[in-house]
Every structure is written in structure tokens, then in C-alpha cells.
Chain A
Amino acid sequence: MKLKQLMFIVLGLGIISSIAIVYFYIIQKDFTKQHREFLLSVNALENANIDLEHQILQNSIYAYHNQDEISATINRVEKTYRDIQESEILNDSTYAQTKESILSLQKDISLNLQNIEEYIMLNAGIKNSLVFLSRRIDEATFLQNKDRDLFIHATKILKHFNDAKRMQDLDYINHNNFLIKSKSTDIKTQSFIDNFNLHSKYLINRYPIFMQTTKTVLNNDIHSYLEKLKIDFSKVALSDFKALDMFAFILFSVFISSLFLIIVLFVKYLKENKKLQDITASLEHSLSYDHLTDLHNRRAFEIQLQKIREPHLLIINIDGFKYINDIYGNDVGNVILQELAQILKDEFSNRPNTCIYRLGGDEFGILFNKISSENALEIAKKLEKKISNYDFIVYDLTLHLLVSIASNSTVPILENTDLALKLLKKDHTQRILEYNDNLNIKTDVKENMNTIEQIKTAVKNDKIVPFFQPIINLKTSKIEKYEALVRLRLEDGTFLPPYKFLNISKKSSYYHFITKTMIEKTLKMAKEFPQYRFSINISMIDILDAKLTHMLFETLNANPDVANRLDIELLESENLQNLQVVQDFITKLHVFGSKILIDDFGTGYSNFSYFSNLDIDLVKIDGSIVSEIETDDKKLHMLTSIHKFSNGMNMKNVAEFVETREVALLLQEIGVEYAQGYYFSQPLERPLEDDRVII
């Protein structure tokens, strides 16, 4: 979560700084370009102005001069000034001051250019007149003899004009003696005087304004104005540059921080990755290793089995390991498993092509590749001997273990080895068994599979049906009840007896359905035959199945008219611990008017404690006793005792497996209340209409 946030921050910073960089680049580029262009334009204007001054000076020095340059430079001044005015940078309000200065410069520049025009106009006349005067003097050499004073005066005047122009100083002509005259009547002399004075007058007249204009032109302060403008501009620009610097600094900071964040992310990523790798490694280890014994586990076994070409498997199973756990506790059991694993490791870990596995709770596997069956059996024998002689010392206890070892190299390896082990477990005389196809173990499995298939079909097609065996009251010789017995109708029309499928169905989901069907169909039959009671079989262990009992009571609730004629025969079960649950069940049943039987009493786990703890109505005496009372005195005695005991506890008896008239009569004589069996009738698809029986 934090990593994700960090990533978003880095991403955000990245995007922001990218945009900022682009923005900065554009701003910076534009600004620098505009700044440069502006200064270049100002410099160009300055240069044009300097050039102009230079050309004006040239123009004033030379008597005649190509003015094309001046006019070109004037155009240049005007153009560069327009360039400055149009500078993009002046659109920025920051440079409003500069813009104003430039606007006010316009007046100066146009004034200066006007002055230059003026200057050129004035200069032309003055130059021409000066040239004219000097030419006149040049042509008047005749005066040197005729009128020397006049000649000298004229020369002086010309000198003064030239000096004044060169020095740009009016003082040189600051006197009134600029007109020459002579008393001579010579036409040539008078013509000289007239022409000379005409131009002298002209010059005197024009000099002051010419000087003034020249000064104004040459001393224009455009240059210093532009210098000041540049300085002011640079000051403002400097703060702009500073802002850019600041921006660059911020940008750099953002960049550095995103870089730092990336490094943090990277380190974090590396750490997470390391953690993940550790977890993966430990996960992978625990995927293929058993944590208790640190041997490879069943998964690893299955993978390895795929890899090897000629597998041979030994499965070692501890006999009665369950009891070790029960008696000494799981801790001791675990230690024993670890010890046994150690023995196996000692024995096989250095053997090539051999792997040791913990396949299940107390089941270990040794998987060989390429080994002869003889060799494997030899190893198994040696191992079995070693283990049986081994002192397992746990805390202060010394324990001895027996193991069964199944050996097999026939595929499917695991299944066949397991089957061999199962068979071995049933036979307590052997410790080691090698699987071979003749063990016939498989037929059972096949049959089981077949049966499951039959159950499935029957359930689907409603072929689970109850058969009814009459129970006869020996005192009245009348059928009083029917015991419903479950049958499975096969497709060929024959019926499977319960021992062929009921146990198997208990391991499937069909058992529940079968029980339900039996209850419903029996109740239906009870409705048809109101003269009889009916009983169905339920094992005590079924009572613990809340779903099943719930279903039973639901059904009874739904059929209150017949519920009081439905009795329950409880089949004893192994290890039924909680009799209270059974009693609660009985109490509930009694409400409906049902009666409770203990089935098959006198064999198996028959337990007298039931009678003290449970409200039993009838006791059904097991067929193994009943069928032999005529030939076996002991059995007869047992039966008599059970009957007396039952009567004493206010319970009645039903004798089952009554197959002869003799037995029936004997039972009648003893006083057993009810009997059933082939002597009277085998189980029937429907109860009999007639309830009379002849004994």
C-alpha cells in the first residue's frame, strides 16, 4: 500500500517535472532568444547611428562626397529602430519601462534624422560657396598686381571662413569686415567684388545655423541614451534571469527528489524481492518437504515418480501408531516419527537412486530406481528387523515398534503398494509383502466401483426400495409389525441385499438419500396398512449426523398420522461415546409414539450400559443366538437370560433368524414375545393383507 503510494508520488513527480522541463525549456529559449534579439537590435541601432555620424563627418570634410551611404544608413537607422519597437520582449509587461524609453527615443531619432537632412542641405550650399570663393580667388591672380590689398583681404576672408568651418567656431568670423570693396572701376575687379560679396553674404548668413545644426547632429545623445537603455534593460532582465535560475533550481530539486524516490523505491523493491524470494524458497521447501521429519513429502514423491524409469517403492507403516498417539500423546508420536525418519535417513540417504518420503501420517516411502525385487525385499527385511530391534527412547520411555513393509514395482506404483499394505495389515502373521497381481486385491476395488455405479443408477432411477419382513406376535400368532429392509433393484430385476451396498454407500453422499427414501417409502406403506407397525434400521452413529436426524424428524412431522406406528431399530456401533445424544434422540422419537429397539443384541459391541442409559422398548436378540438355541444349550441359556433380563427391565424381545418350526415353538415356550425369520416369511415387497400365521 505504501509502495503503491510512493509509486504514484514518483509518477506524479515525473510527470510534473517533465512538463516543467518542457515549459522551462520553451520559456528559457524564448526569453534568451528575445533578450538576445533585443540587445542585438539596440546594438545595431547604435552602430547605425555611429556609422551615420562617421559619414556625416566624412561629408563635411570632403568637398564632394557620395551621399548614397548616408541615405542608406539613414534607412538603416529607421529600420533598426522599427525592429527594436517590434521586439517581442517588449510585449512583456516587465519591460514596460524599456518600452516607454524606446517610444520616447522615437522623437529623438526622427529629430536627429531631420537635423541631418537639414545639415546636408546647408552643407551643400556652404561647400559650394566656399569652393566658389576659392575658385574666384584662384582666377583673380591679376589683382595681385592691380589691387593687392583687395586680393589679400579676399584671401583672408576665405581663410576665416575655412577656419571657422574647420574649427566649428563662429569667433573666426565674428567681425563685420566680410565685404570687400575697391575704388577701381575695372569691370573685372568689380565683377570679382560683386560675386565674392554675394557668396560672403550667403556664408555669413548661413554659418550660424550651419554650425548649430552640425553641433546638434554630432552631439546627439542617442548613443548615451541607448547605453543607458541597455543598462536599465539588463537590470530588469537580470531579475528575469534570476527567476529563471530559481525555476531551474526548483526543477533540479524536483528532479533530485524524484531520483531519490526512485532509489528508495528501488531499494524497497529489492528488499521486497528478497523477502519474496525467501518466502518462495520456504514455500517451495514446504511444498516438497515434510516439516516434521524434514523428509520429502508426498508431492515430491509424485513428482519424482514421474521422472524415474524403473520405480520400485517400499512403504513402511507403523503398526498401531494410532495407539501410541492415544496412549502417549501426539508429542511422543511426533518424536517417534522423527526417530524413524532418522533411521531411514541413516539407512538410505547415501544410497544412490534412492529417495525417502513421508507419504502420510505414519507411512514412509523408499523409492528406488532400478532395483531387483529380490534386492528390494532383502532391504525391506533388513529394515524391518532393524526397526523392530530398535529402542525408541522418548523422554523416559523406551518403546518398541513393529512396522509393515509393502514392496512393489508394478504400476500404478502407489496404488498397488497401498493395496499390498492393506492386505498385509489384515494378516498379522506377515510383516513384509510384495505386491503381485495374484493378490486379487483389485477385484474388491473393481467390485466396489461397480457397486457405487449401481447405487448411482438406482438413486437416479428410484430403484431403492424397502422390503418388508413380518414380525409375529408368538402369543397371538398374528403379524403385528413389519421390519423394512433396504434393497437395491438392479437393471436385470434382481435385488441387491444391503450388505452388498450399504457399507459402500456410507462412504458416499448417497447414504443420506437412501435413508430418506427408506423412511418415506416405509411411511407410505404404513398409510396403506394401518393394521401394522413398521420399523426401520438406523445405526447409532447416524444419530450423530444432525442433517440425517433433522430429515427424519421433518418427515415424521409431515406425517403425524403414521408417525406413531414407525419404530426405530438402533444398530449398535463401535465406540459410541456420547449416549446422551442417543437418549435425546429417543426422547424425541417417543413424543411421536415411536418405539425403540436395540438391534442384534448379544453379539458385537452389545453393551448392558445401554439399558441403564437409554429408554429402550424392545430388544432384538441376535440371529447367531436364536438360530442355534435348539442345538446349543449355551445359546439357549443366553437367550433365556436375555429374555429374563429384558422382562425384568420391562422390555420385550424379538427373536430374529427363526428358520424352523422347532425354534419357533421353543421360543413360544420360553415366552419370547416376537419372532421373525424365513420360517414365517422372507422379506416381501408388500406386507400381507392377512395377518394370521400358523405356527
Chain B
Amino acid sequence: MMKTFLLLIITLTLFANEPISPIPTEVKFNLEKAKLGKKLFFDTILSKDNSTACVSCHNVFDGGADSNVVSSGYANKKGNIQSPTVLNSRYNFKQFWNGRARNLTQQADGPINNPAEHNMDAKTVENRINDSIEYKRLFKSVYGTSYISYTQVLEAIVEFENALTTPNSKFDRFLRDEIQLTKDEKEGYILFKQNGCITCHNGINIGGNSFQKMGTFLEYELKSDYPDRSKITNNPNHKNVFKVPTLRNINKTAPYFHDGSAKTLKEALTIMAKHNLGIKLEDKEVEKIIAFLKTLDGEKPKILEEK
């Protein structure tokens, strides 16, 4: 009896001490709003030349990001940074690579107004949406108002994004003690912790909860003028400082880093070890860590199945 109890205590303590927590299997959101947001998310009506939708750069069916180094937006203009994933973005402490948006609503406002992305403004969005008989009908049934405001448009998109979580990854299920990891995966996780990756990649999103300098140990080459943290803080020491990106579904979001310089996980790991940890990983170690990283692929968000 005493043994069982002690075991329970120890298990709980260990579990509680794990620096990574699983994504809840169920998240609360307003389904009607989220469905409306989904329609908007997929609709090019939100870009000036009807070329670009949110989904253009955030492929929610596969990783939630863009496989191009930089995305193309309005009039085929190129972006200046690699598109981060929209999946599980609700768990990021701040949005954008440099964290300039406090929440998803502020984030959503960004690309819509960005001349290189949707190149729109609130008034135009309102006019466009209000001109649509279908949106009029949908918003009327969800909000009960006859005029659709820009705020409502953003709110609906955000509600959709809130529904974009990828629960039940192999690793989450391992954390919940539902399954076992393979030996390689498990050893990969331990290496992930031992080598200090965990220092920045922790929490529910395995990242996304702090800023860190790309090249904290060894300066990383500044290839271009990226919108990094220094653009916000005006601190020159914050060159190359970015929000630590999430590692969830990392297997699907290549290319990696703000500059999309790493095409594979192996490349990415090598660069990270060199510049941020000051170590050189052995091939075997890299393989094991990649095996672990692959356990972070979650289920597709249920909202994507909704019609």
C-alpha cells in the first residue's frame, strides 16, 4: 500500500517536473465563429488583388507554414521572413518572429495590412465583406448584426486559429502515459534535455514562450535585415533575437529558422548545436533527436474536417 502510494507520488512529481506539457485533447471555442473564420481564412477576398488568403502562407493541412523560404503575397511580392506555423499558435506567448503582436487578433491584423501580403485596410475589408450576400447571411446568423465590422472579421479568424491545435502527438500520449516511446525516441528526448535544447524549447508548445538570440553561443551570420527583436526594443544587442519557435509538427514545417536556411532537420540541428549550444552533435545523436522530434507531430485539427 505504502509502496503504491509512494510510487504514485514519485510519478506525479516526475510528471510535474517534465518541462514539456501535452496539448489538451479538447479546447473550447465557438464552433460557429470558428467555421466562419475558417471560410475567411481560406478566402482570397481578404487580399487586394484577390490573390492571397491566409492559407496561402499557412498551409494548415500540412504543418501550418509555408514550404518556401519566404512567401509570396500581393502582386507576387516576397515576404522578408520565413512563415511561422499557425498551428498551436494560440499557445505562443507572443506572435510574429519578433513578438510584436501581443495576441492572435493583433497578429491577424498584420498580414491583412501588410502591402507585401494582403495589402488591405479595415475599411476595404468591411466594404468587401459587406458586399457579399453570403457573408452577410453567415455573419447575421453568427453575430445577429446586419453590418459586418472589421473587428468581427478578425474575431472570427482568431476563433478559427484557436481551434487549430494538434493534440495527441505520440510524445503527448507518452507524457500522458498512454504509450511508450521507442528506444531511439526516448534517448533522443534525453539528449534533447541533456544538450540544453530544452532550456529554450519547453512548455506546451516546446518553444514559443521566450525570446532567444540566434547564435547565443557563437554569432550567427546576419545575412539580411530581418525584422528581429531589435526592431522592437531598439537594442543593438537584440540583433538576431527572435521568439523561440515551436517544435510541434517540426517535421512538417521545413525550411527552418527565420531565414529558412536549414532545409532539413539535420541541418537545423547542426546549426543550433553549433551556434546556440557550442557543441557538435554526433550523427547518432542527431538521428535520435530527430526521432524524438518526429514524435511531436500531432493530429490534424478537427476543425479542418468541418464543413
Contact = CB atoms under 8 A, between A and B. Distances in A.
Contact of B209 (A64, A68, A125, A128): A68
Interface string A193-215: 00100110010000000000000
A506 interface: no
* Interface majority SS (helix, strand, loop, mixed), chain A: helix
Contact of B193 (A64, A67, A74, A120): A64
Contacts of B198: 64
A67 B217 contact: no
B65 interface: no
A129 B278 contact: yes
Interface in B1-25: 18-21
Contacts of B200: 67, 124
B132 to A, nearest CB: 35
Interface in B226-278: 233, 235, 241, 276-278
Contact of A202 (B210, B211, B217): B217
A125 B203 CA distance: 18
B202 interface: yes
A641 interface: no
B196 interface: yes
B278 A67 contact: no
Given A67-B202, A67-B203, A121-B216, A131 B194 contact: yes
Given A117-B210, A125-B216, A71 B194 contact: no
A644 interface: no
Contacts of A67: 200, 202-203, 209-210
Interface string A400-434: 00000000000000000000000000000000000
A598 B212 CA distance: 150
B211 A68 contact: no
A114 B233 CA distance: 8
Nearest to A128: B196
B199 A66 contact: no
A132 interface: yes
A75 interface: yes
A45 B62 CA distance: 41
B279 interface: yes
B241 A121 contact: yes
A121 B213 contact: yes
A311 B196 CA distance: 130
A75 B93 contact: yes
A127 interface: yes
B98 to A, nearest CB: 12
B21 A198 contact: no
Interface residues of B, number: 33
Contacts of B205: 68
B204 interface: yes
A70 interface: yes
B278 A132 contact: yes
B158 to A, nearest CB: 16
B19 A127 contact: no
Given A66-B19, A71-B93, A72-B93, A124 B202 contact: no
B196 A131 contact: yes
A434 B194 CA distance: 145
Given A121-B216, A127-B196, A129-B217, A65 B202 contact: yes
A138 to B, nearest CB: 11
A117 B20 CA distance: 20
Nearest to A198: B278
A71 B20 CA distance: 14
Interface in B63-116: 91, 93-94, 102
A673 to B, nearest CB: 126
A569 B235 CA distance: 142
B241 A132 contact: no
Contacts of A117: 210-211
Nearest to A74: B93
A125 B19 CA distance: 17
A135 interface: yes
B196 A202 contact: no
A120 B278 contact: no
- Interface core residue of B196, B198, B204, B212 (most chain A CB under 10 Å): B196
Q: For chain A, give the interface size range.
A: 20 to 34
Contacts of A198: 278
A129 B196 CA distance: 8
A78 B99 CA distance: 14
Contacts of B199: 63-64, 124, 127-128
Contacts of A70: 209-210
Contact of A125 (B193, B217, B233): B217
Contacts of A125: 216-217, 276
B31 to A, nearest CB: 26
Given A65-B19, A129-B217, A71 B210 contact: yes
A121 B196 contact: no
A129 B276 CA distance: 10
A667 to B, nearest CB: 129
- Interface core residue of B20, B213, B216 (most chain A CB under 10 Å): B216
Contacts of A131: 194, 196
Contacts of A120: 210-212
B14 to A, nearest CB: 13
Nearest to B200: A124
Contacts of A65: 19, 202
Interface string A97-122: 00000000000000000100100110
A195 B281 CA distance: 13
Interface in B155-209: 193-196, 198-200, 202-205, 209
Contacts of B204: 68
A114 B241 CA distance: 13
Contacts of B212: 120-121, 124
Nearest to B216: A125
- Interface core residue of A63, A68, A114, A195 (most chain B CB under 10 Å): A68
Contacts of B91: 68
A409 B39 CA distance: 112
Interface in A50-108: 63-68, 70-72, 74-75, 78
Contacts of A121: 210-213, 216, 241
Contacts of B203: 66-68, 71
Nearest to A125: B216
- Interface core residue of B91, B211, B217 (most chain A CB under 10 Å): B217
Interface string A140-179: 0000000000000000000000000000000000000000
A125 B241 CA distance: 13
A72 B205 CA distance: 13
Contacts of A71: 93-94, 203, 209-210
A139 to B, nearest CB: 11
- Interface core residue of A114, A125, A132 (most chain B CB under 10 Å): A125
Contacts of B202: 64-68
A132 B93 CA distance: 28
Nearest to A136: B279
A67 B243 CA distance: 13
Given A74-B93, A114-B233, A135 B194 contact: yes
Given A65-B202, A132-B277, A124 B19 contact: no
B242 to A, nearest CB: 11
Contacts of A64: 19, 193, 196, 198-199, 202
Contacts of A199: 278
Interface of B: 18-21, 91, 93-94, 102, 193-196, 198-200, 202-205, 209-213, 216-217, 233, 235, 241, 276-279
Closest 3 CB pairs of A and B: A128-B196, A71-B93, A68-B203
Interface of A: 63-68, 70-72, 74-75, 78, 114, 117, 120-121, 124-125, 127-129, 131-132, 135, 195, 198-199, 202
Given A66-B202, A124-B212, 5 more contacts: A64-B196, A64-B202, A70-B210, A114-B233, A120-B210
14 contacts: A64-B19, A64-B193, A66-B18, A66-B21, A68-B21, A71-B94, A75-B102, A114-B233, A120-B211, A128-B199, A131-B194, A132-B277, A195-B279, A198-B278
